[in-house]
Structure 1
């Protein structure tokens, strides 16, 4: 008797390694997973829609028996009922791995990423610092991406970050982002919506027509649309935050990549081919390739290598603010981004890092609460993505393994890289008083509270020198405004170091 291939909801690869030699394929929709706090309705929808589309394709192929366990009491219970041996790809989450191992499943290497956890660990061994830039350059050489005839970086530079950080004030008035590709919902989506209404009616976030690809054909269409329509302008404006333009020039490919229906190397090769054909600026092609070949693979490897559970280098213990669950703070930047997450399950990477993550960092929110919220509130969320990004990068919970300094910023950064401040009652240049930008006050309060921890970090030398020049009376006023800001967010004062 052949084995049963267990296909998890975030491993929907059509070349799934567990399918080789399988007689049965098992899909489990765990009801407790659907009822977890902060899980976005649209996140649940894309996962279930992707699973059911894959099951339907396999069933139509007629080569294997397809078993779907919907509204299951757990992942473990259907596994225990399977008559034959179980085979699964190495999961993307430690919890799923533990369940499969207890069920006696044989785990085979996953092909969802270009660099396995073991390969990443081998690359990391003996290195004093695990710099993403070093990893990215090796990935470029390994796969022969954007290299010149001599094996050096195309154009003479490995990255074009300086050119890819233009503020929205530089954006031409007539530049309008093309509308991104959008799938057509079908009967499977309608069935998913009915089941979510029945079994998980209290999910967070708004229900809406599905916007993201969940099948290989849809992913290919989404990739083609991005390459042709938005990649040319992606590079220079990738860090810009523009109210009313939630997608801007971003790819919207993280969902199909994280579901396993888009091969990361296919996306990389498509961008490189577009550049070499003469239609795409090098800075845009490189910026997009860096996100996938560099950062995405690096984050996945770092997740398995570092195990950030419980990491809390800044001793931050405040609970998740009410403002992250829909209560209005009165801050235009934060309320706009959180409203967008509730509406779409999406915000682009700078909104996540420098509005959401920065707010959580400055207010001293517990890193695990932050990771849980990010992992479930976004359509592309997963612990392997959010633990390194939210806990490591945004909240500095690892004490500097992911970044050389905290990604802390005041209102001036948001003012420079967004158009939020023009519609806000607060002044980003002020740090005290009722009109002061809450982020500006919280920034200096953060530096003050952690001055001993940050002392000795050369990249924090300048803000620490500036802090030393602040008059004690003004510093007291900054602390008072920071406490008011926490109250506006709905959190208690952050713990002192």
Structure 2
């Protein structure tokens, strides 16, 4: 990393910099558009940044995620140096506590400000560092669009109270935030007369319209150094570093966003649930990785979408669908993570003794291991192989492939929710504890028993066949549930319902499929069960 070290050296503080305000900038808050970096002139500001290899080695994170974070941090440090900010940039073999300790030694008695960390893991590091005498003062994280009170008042939560008997339905929070902010509202009512246009955004994609070619971001010298370091230090990590073209600076993130606004979002709504092997990204903006490290801010993108919708550049259904993901799901998920302490406070969460270990809620008593197909071993199920291949290559796939292929299969099989959660955390470039644990332990697997979802999001082959082209050329026939060449998803679905019928009894949204299951002859149910068992055995017999 010779290039970076030489360029950042000029920004190191001297004796004349003792009176600057010193701010620790976390790996996921790379912004000078909001927060403490905006509260005083650059000439009065100093930042502390660090690369903690202990954190990077905590899991075999996707190589592209590691590359994004290292390159993003280094570019941000140089951005601050160019503004006249002094920079202490540390490299530690240990974790963030070791880095904080070294920073305190260099700063003497001076205090560091830090925006309240988004990740629970970093909050733990901050608490540990404080106990050793490191002076860290937390300030409000102004990258979020909602407050703790917004969420707690919406569900009438107080203290550590969690309403397990009643799901924390996202739509309730989303409507409250729309009302509070006035986003897509007019005269106190939603523009167009409805809060949600989700029912209109479920079209399969059949080849037209064709998505345009996206901009790519060739690594510069700083990014190449980061990628070379990842290849050298983390050869066994998940995925590939080849073809890295993620935006790692604010300017690049803004360029990617401008392209999405101009060329993608108009078609996003109708096809947001569609899946395609030919065009896996379709009309998704793919800004989640940049958004989650704050290279671009949620308030910015929402304001842009509202402006474009007002001018007729983006249809209302597309604008609302995008805003629901950012103002709705994204904010909602971080609050659920906060109030449940990463699901440690819910019944069945099994709080581990190690505070860094993940909670293990499993409301459906699912405890199988994650099959090798998720780690790249071909299983011959075209939908699964196609999506996993994309994730290994890019560290990303859109939300429906995550939910209705990857999470669906694991849930139908009875995979331990924690196993799948940890895989998502490793495999995706936009995965951090506050978003991945709630999405997978909750909506993805129903491991939380209904805190975040009113029913398990599972399906047989019919949904995948209707919403994708994955079944074309697959060795399985989606129209056959049993027998030779039958698609195992359908048998797995009915077997899942049979296995969990007692647990799901009383769930109104599952009443119809359970009634349908009960009407099936015993011989048919037996054939479905045997087909499901054979499919599971096939997946579990594969080795890494």
Checking the alignment, whether the CA contact within 8 Å between 2:55 and 2:94 is kept in structure 1 is no
Match of 1:197 among 211, 217, 231: 231
* 8 Å Cα contact 2:491-2:532 kept in structure 1: yes
Structure 1 Cα separation of the partners of residues 45 and 215 of structure 2: 36
Is 2:277–2:470's contact at 8 Å kept on the other side of the alignment? yes
Report whether the alignment pairs 1:116 with 2:151. no
CA–CA distance in structure 2, aligned partners of residues 38 and 490 of structure 1: 22
On the 8 A contact 1:427/1:437 being kept in 2, the answer is: yes
TM-score by length of 1: 0.94
Give the TM-score taking structure 2 as reference length.
0.86
Which of 301, 304, 307 is the equivalent residue of 1:273? 307
Q: Secondary structure at the match of 2:49?
A: strand
Give secondary structure in 1 for the equivalent of 2:435.
helix
> Is the contact made by 1:16 and 1:89 (CA closer than 8 Å) also made in structure 2?
no
1:481 Cα deviation from its structure 2 partner? 1.4
Partners of 1:159 and 1:25 lie apart in 2 by: 42
In terms of mean alpha carbon deviation, does 239-248 or 104-113 score higher?
A: 104-113
- Residue 139, structure 1, aligned to residue 177, structure 2: yes
Please, which of 126, 129, 138 is the counterpart of residue 107 of structure 1? 138
Alignment CA distance shift 1:427-1:352 (3 Å) = same
Bigger mean CA offset, 14-23 vs 68-77? 14-23
The CA deviation at 1:5 is 1.9
Q: Which residue of 2 aligns with 1:388?
A: 438
CA distance in 1 between counterparts of 2:84 and 2:398 reads: 40
* 3-state secondary structure, aligned to 1:88: strand
Superposed CA deviations along residues 424-451 of structure 1, whole A, max 9, x for unmatched, are: 1112222222312111111111101111
1:365 counterpart = 2:415: yes
Asked if 1 retains the 8 angstrom alpha-carbon contact of 2:24 and 2:113, the reply is: yes
Which residue number in structure 1 is paired with residue 350 of structure 2?
Answer: none
Match of 1:9 among 14, 27, 30: 27
Pick from 47, 50, 65: which aligns with 2:69?
A: 47
Once residues 129 and 323 of structure 1 are traced to their aligned partners in structure 2, the CA distance between those partners, rounded to angstroms, is 32
Alignment partner of 1:282 out of 292, 295, 316 = 316
Matched, 1:233 2:251: no
Distance (whole Å) between structure 2 residues aligned to residue 224 and residue 297 of structure 1:
23
Match of 2:120 in 1: 94
Output the CA distance in 2 between the equivalents of 1:297 and 1:304.
11
Give 1:463 shift: 1.1
Distance 1:214 1:293 in 2: 23
- Give the length in aligned residue pairs: 487
What is residue 152 of structure 1 aligned with on the other side? 189
**Is the 8 Å Cα contact of residues 147 and 154 (structure 1) preserved in structure 2?**
yes
Stretch of structure 1 that moved more, 173-182 or 127-136 = 127-136
Structure 2 CA distance for aligned equivalents of residues 485 and 382 of structure 1: 32
CA distance in 1, matches of 2:335, 2:32: 23
Residue 90 of structure 2: which of 64, 69, 79 is its match? Answer: 69
Report if the CA contact (8 A) 1:231-1:285 is conserved: yes
More displaced 10-residue stretch of structure 1: 126-135 or 319-328: 126-135
Counterpart mapping for 1:177-192 below 5 A: 177-192=211-226
Please say if 1:314 is aligned against 2:364.
yes
Match of 1:436 among 486, 500, 521: 486
CA distance in 2, matches of 1:352, 1:256: 19
Q: Which secondary structure state, in structure 1, belongs to the residue aligned with residue 363 of structure 2?
A: coil
Distance 2:99 2:265 in 1: 43
**Structure 1 residue 358: deviation in Å?**
0.3
Query: 1: distance between equivalents of 2:435 and 2:174?
Result: 17
Residue 331 of structure 1 corresponds to which residue in structure 2? 381
Distance in structure 1 (CA, Å) of the matches to 2:204 and 2:224: 41
Q: What does the per-residue CA deviation read over 1:382-403, in whole Å, with 9 as the maximum and x for residues that have no partner?
A: 1111111111001001111111
Match of 1:461 in 2: 511
Secondary structure of 2:50's aligned partner: strand
How far off its partner does 1:121 sit?
2.3
Q: 1:218 aligns with which of 252, 255, 268?
A: 252
- Judging changes above 3 Å, is the alpha-carbon distance between structure 1 residues 109 and 459 closer, same or farther for their aligned structure 2 residues? same
Q: Distance in 2 between matches of 1:401 and 1:212?
A: 34
**1:443–1:230: structure 2 CA closer, same or farther, 3 Å change rule?**
same
Measure how far apart 1:479 and its partner are.
1.8
**Aligned residues of 2:201 and 2:269 also touching (Cα < 8 A):** yes
Are 1:214 and 1:259, in contact at CA under 8 Å, matched by a contact in 2? Answer: no
Per the alignment, residue 460 of structure 2 pairs with 410
Q: Structure 1 residues 211, 194: closer, same or farther in 2, change over 3 A?
A: closer
Query: Partners in 2 of 1:411 and 1:443 — Cα distance?
Result: 9
Give yes or no for contact 1:391–1:397 (8 Å, CA) kept in 2: yes
